[in-house]
């Protein structure tokens, strides 16, 4: 199962968003 780059970027943005 592959994760598309844009999906990965969106996931990353959501991850970083939780940090101050």
Concatenate the DSSP letters of all residues of the chain into one string: ----HHHHHHHHHHHHHT--
* pLDDT at position 6: 93
Distances 16 to 4, 9, 10, 12, 13 between C-alpha atoms, Å: 18, 10, 10, 6, 5
State pLDDT tens for residues 1-20.
788 999 999 999 988 887 77
* pLDDT at position 8: 92
* pLDDT at position 3: 81
């Amino acid at each position: 199962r592959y994760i598309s780059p844009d999906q990965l970027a969106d996931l990353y943005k959501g991850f970083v968003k939780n940090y101050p």
